[in-house]
Amino acid sequence: MMRFTTLLLFSLLVLHQCISTINATEVSHDGRAITIDGKRRLLISGSIHYPRSTPEMWPDLIKKAKEGGLDAIETYVFWNAHEPFRRQYDFSGNLDFIKFIKTVQDHGLYAVLRIGPYVCAEWNYGGFPLWLHNMRGINELRTANTVYMREMQNFTTLIVDMVKKEKLFASQGGPIILSQVENEYGNVMAPYGHAGKVYVDWCAKMADSLDIGVPWIMCQQSDAPEPMINTCNGWYCDHFTPNDPNSPKMWTENWSGWFKSWGASDPYRTTEDLAYATARFFQLGGTFNNYYMYHGGTNFGRTAGGPLITTSYDYDAPLDEYGIFNQPKYGHLKELHDILHSMEKVLTHGNVSHTDMGNSISASVYQSTDGSACFLSNKNTTTDATVKFQGATYDVPAWSVSILPDCKNDVYNTAKVNTETWVIEKKANQAEQEPVALKWAWRPENIDDTVVKGKGEKSSSELMDQKAANDVSDYLWYMTSLNVDENDPIWCDDMSLRVNCTGQVLHAYVNGEYIGREFVTYGIFHYVFEKKIKLKPGLNQITLLSVTTGFQHYGPKFDKIANGVLGPVEIIGRKGDQTVITDLSSHKWSFQAGLKSIDRNNNIVKVDSSEWKTHELPTQRKMTWYKTTFKTPTGTDPVSLDLNGLGKGLAWVNGKSIGRYWPSNIAESHNCTKNGCDYRGKYDFNKCVRDCGLPTQRWYHVPRSFLVDGENELVLFEEFGGNPSSVNFQTLTVGKACGSAYENKTMEISCPGRSITGVRFALYGDVQGTCGSFQPGTCQGKKDILDVLKKECIGKEKCAVEANEAVFGPVNCQGVKKRLVAEVVC
């Protein structure tokens, strides 16, 4: 009997394997490209992190990515989200990465799975769970430490096993063509010394032993051990060479923009420069490119990295935080991808020759038996060029690449954007009977135990790093008491409390009374808090509340960087020119993690409805809960919550956390350039910024799937004190669209889902300014263009008009590039 079942099981297994190997895809590589079923491929991939959107958004994001010309979707795997407490796993909702990969597969795209499990990603603690840091025997992460390595292997194996079980590796017929172990370790390896090398070799062996049947990559790892493929991350990777001649030139992080920090202005990257960097990479032999990010999304809950990453992780990616096309970036890249794909064969097989034509101009010719393809690039940052090439003349603007798929016709130039620009507008909640002002109820957070009684769950004669509290909350209370009388040397009229802080926010209370708060400024991650206090004779209660906005996620030994109150904590008495200091750092301290009303999973603890008051709504009150109801905005446009007027805190819609909010944190005012940003010249995250002097983040994404029919509930925990009276829900839609087309190209303008209602500006010639602020330049064509546009476009969802010199000209712009430009109202 036993034998029989085993035999049956065995034959079933064999049968199953046969079936799966039928669909198996063989992924390998040579020095030129990744090969799929033996064929060299030119692959364009984009990062979309599943926890930064919702399962309801995934199909639309992936569909748009496919239409944008992508072959693959890349994601990290987020260890601390999946294993928040040791061996307690969560793969539900937006953590269902298996479902995410299957959605990618359903859309006919490949997937790249970067397991890490250290991921950086501006994600809380770089993806490591805090319990890992607190395990006995772990002094340091990401190094040759057996306890750490055992846990890393345990999690990596779990993920690989889950993927194998669902047959999602290409070798099993699934979509995953590549996987990654570790992440940018090469950037930080030196401080780990010999142990770092031992660790990275172990990572490679461990990964290889998991036998996934597709290649492993290691990014930014110039000594990546075989068979790992070393890949490049950065703003530009045109000059990157992998360490092994048998590895293709791959770019795993082509930064499409940059992340935003509380207190900093908003970085963006121009479309022209991103297209330039990508085209240069392919010009110089690159065959795999991944945009980091293609859709950035939202740091829901407490997932944002530290110390100051905002809730929005928009990244200026081709798809914005809400999943709307970021035009013209999305469209200009789509055009580039389509052209590159049409050249796949010759770019992955052809003989290459590069010619330096002087003055930073170079030509690259790819030749194969099937034909040839050419690139002309101008790296000069100021001077446009007229290039004579193979008997013809080409106009190549400064800092741009022209692509000639047949070595004759210039079909694409990275600096000549022929895609429309969209300006997104926010509209008031149109739900029926929705009042203009929301009605609020409120209640105080009960903080008597910590602030008055000084009661905590743990005590010690040493101060504690906030990491030791296992990340169950943003909040950690530090409490001690101090016995003084009038004869004490520190007793005087001028006393203050001084705290050396490494956390992001500190609130202080003495004898139940609030004495003040302070928070870190962007760029200076350490401060000393000092406020005047009054003590009373006898026992005095000192309570400090340290607040994190995410644990450090990057840097050599980032896992050990201090966070919280680590001292000294001092009482200072000043009498005349005499100063007496009492150091409280090694007093008996008690600690309490969290707030009474939020549980360790960041869910709101239910309270009796009688605790909510509807009268005397307080404003500027610290540690206060606010609650309101609202109707779901009509339509399908994405929903945004305007929290202007509030201080800092956490927000939930129908019990689901939409993240931390902090609109009172104003972005530094000095980095914005008046006239936008010149795309020419090397980019870095400081070069192009916007929103200077404005709230770092005023609007918060509320995914439609968080909403219900009828009444929804919004709950806010206001930590700093604020005024909720102007809080409101809005929907996002394309408010105006601007078309642009160079001579002989087609200008397309659209108002998705609606119709074009007016044409505000139209001109053929040399146009200045950007969408919303166009100005005629020095030369222009016929005057009746506006009428032509009105006739073609009004009342339609989209219209297309060719920039035809015969129709709109003639214009002699004397060397200045002519284009057709129009702005329409949706």
Ligand X SMILES: *[C@@H]1O[C@H](CO)[C@@H](O)[C@H](O)[C@H]1NC(C)=O
Catalytic residues: 184, 253
Find the shortest distance in angstroms from Cβ 387 to ligand X.
13
Is residue 812 near ligand X by the rule CB under 6 A? no
Is residue 682 near ligand X by the rule CB under 6 A? no
Residue 270: both structure tokens together: 């121009």
| Interface of this chain with ligand X, residues 485 to 514, rule: CB under 6 A | 500, 502
The answer to whether residues 295 and 317 touch, using CB atoms and an 8 Å cutoff, is yes
Find the shortest distance in angstroms from Cβ 813 to ligand X.
11
Specify the residue for token string 């079980």: 165
User: What is the sign of the dihedral through the CA atoms of 497, 498, 502 and 506?
Assistant: positive
The answer to whether residues 61 and 295 touch, using CB atoms and an 8 Å cutoff, is yes
Q: Which of 80, 254, 265, 311 binds ligand X (CB under 6 A)?
A: 265
Is residue 314 near ligand X by the rule CB under 6 A? no
For residues 463 and 535, which CB has a smaller minimum distance to ligand X in the complex?
A: 463
Q: Which of 35, 134, 342, 368 binds ligand X (CB under 6 A)?
A: 368
For residues 241 and 359, which CB has a smaller minimum distance to ligand X in the complex?
A: 359
Of 279, 290, 232, nearest in space to 256 by CA:
290
Q: Are strands 250-255 and 288-295 parallel, antiparallel or unpaired?
A: parallel
Using the contact rule CB under 6 A, the part of the chain among 97-105, 119-127, 201-209, 648-656 near ligand X is 119-127
Is residue 783 near ligand X by the rule CB under 6 A? no
* Residue 349 to residue 365: CA distance in whole angstroms: 12
For the beta sheet containing 34-36, the strands, ordered from the edge strand earlier in sequence to the opposite edge, are 27-29, 34-36, 39-41
Using the contact rule CB under 6 A, the part of the chain among 90-98, 222-230, 361-369, 780-788 near ligand X is 361-369
| Interface of this chain with ligand X, residues 430 to 489, rule: CB under 6 A | none
For residues 237 and 732, which CB has a smaller minimum distance to ligand X in the complex?
A: 237
For residues 404 and 566, which CB has a smaller minimum distance to ligand X in the complex?
A: 566
For residues 195 and 561, which CB has a smaller minimum distance to ligand X in the complex?
A: 561
Eight-class DSSP state of 261: B
Q: Which of 27, 121, 204, 604 binds ligand X (CB under 6 A)?
A: 121
Q: Which of 92, 609, 744, 814 binds ligand X (CB under 6 A)?
A: 744
| Interface of this chain with ligand X, residues 194 to 223, rule: CB under 6 A | none
Q: Which of 98, 206, 562, 813 binds ligand X (CB under 6 A)?
A: 562
Is residue 421 near ligand X by the rule CB under 6 A? no
Q: Bridge-partner residues for 814, per DSSP?
A: none
Q: Which of 367, 430, 644, 723 binds ligand X (CB under 6 A)?
A: 367
The answer to whether residues 169 and 104 touch, using CB atoms and an 8 Å cutoff, is no
Find the shortest distance in angstroms from Cβ 304 to ligand X.
12
User: What is the sign of the dihedral through the CA atoms of 302, 53, 318 and 774?
Assistant: negative
For residues 105 and 278, which CB has a smaller minimum distance to ligand X in the complex?
A: 278
Q: What are phi and psi of 33, to 5 degrees?
A: -160, 165
Is residue 578 near ligand X by the rule CB under 6 A? no
Find the shortest distance in angstroms from Cβ 523 to ligand X.
6
For residues 288 and 626, which CB has a smaller minimum distance to ligand X in the complex?
A: 288
Per residue, the 3-state secondary structure of 500-511, as one string, reads EECCCEEEEEEC
Q: Could you give the angle at the alpha carbon of 385 between the alpha carbons of 379 and 390, nearest 5°?
A: 100
Contacts of 547 (CB under 8 A, 6+ apart): 474, 475, 476, 503, 504, 505, 506, 507, 719
Residue 151: both structure tokens together: 């846990």
Is residue 351 near ligand X by the rule CB under 6 A? yes
Q: Which of 568, 618, 635, 769 binds ligand X (CB under 6 A)?
A: 568
Find the shortest distance in angstroms from Cβ 165 to ligand X.
13
Q: Which of 71, 182, 253, 465 binds ligand X (CB under 6 A)?
A: 253
For 448-495, give the DSSP string: HHHHTS---SEEESS--BGGGGTTS-SEEEEEEEEEE-TTSTT-SS-E
* Residue 507 to residue 545: CA distance in whole angstroms: 5
What is the C-alpha end-to-end distance of the chain, expressed in Å? 74
Using the contact rule CB under 6 A, the part of the chain among 76-84, 196-204, 376-384, 780-788 near ligand X is 376-384
Binding mask 77-116 for ligand X (x = CB under 6 A): ----------x-----------------------------
Is residue 609 near ligand X by the rule CB under 6 A? no
For residues 556 and 635, which CB has a smaller minimum distance to ligand X in the complex?
A: 556
Is residue 523 near ligand X by the rule CB under 6 A? yes
| Interface of this chain with ligand X, residues 5 to 64, rule: CB under 6 A | none
Total residues at the site for ligand X (CB under 6 A)? Answer: 37
Of 504, 743, 445, 779, nearest in space to 623 by CA:
445
Q: Give the SS3 label for residue 762.
A: strand
Q: Which of 104, 120, 178, 407 binds ligand X (CB under 6 A)?
A: 120
Is residue 360 near ligand X by the rule CB under 6 A? yes
Q: Could you give the angle at the alpha carbon of 219 between the alpha carbons of 85 and 334, nearest 5°?
A: 100
Q: Are strands 538-547 and 505-510 parallel, antiparallel or unpaired?
A: antiparallel
Residue 551: both structure tokens together: 């644990």
Q: Which of 510, 689, 734, 801 binds ligand X (CB under 6 A)?
A: 689
Binding mask 226-245 for ligand X (x = CB under 6 A): -------x------------
For the beta sheet containing 371-378, the strands, ordered from the edge strand earlier in sequence to the opposite edge, are 351-358, 361-368, 371-378, 400-404, 412-413
The footprint of ligand X (CB under 6 A) covers 87, 120-122, 154, 157-158, 184, 187, 233, 253, 259, 264-265, 292, 351, 359-360, 367-369, 380, 382-383, 500, 502, 523, 526, 554, 562, 566, 568, 671, 686, 689, 743-744
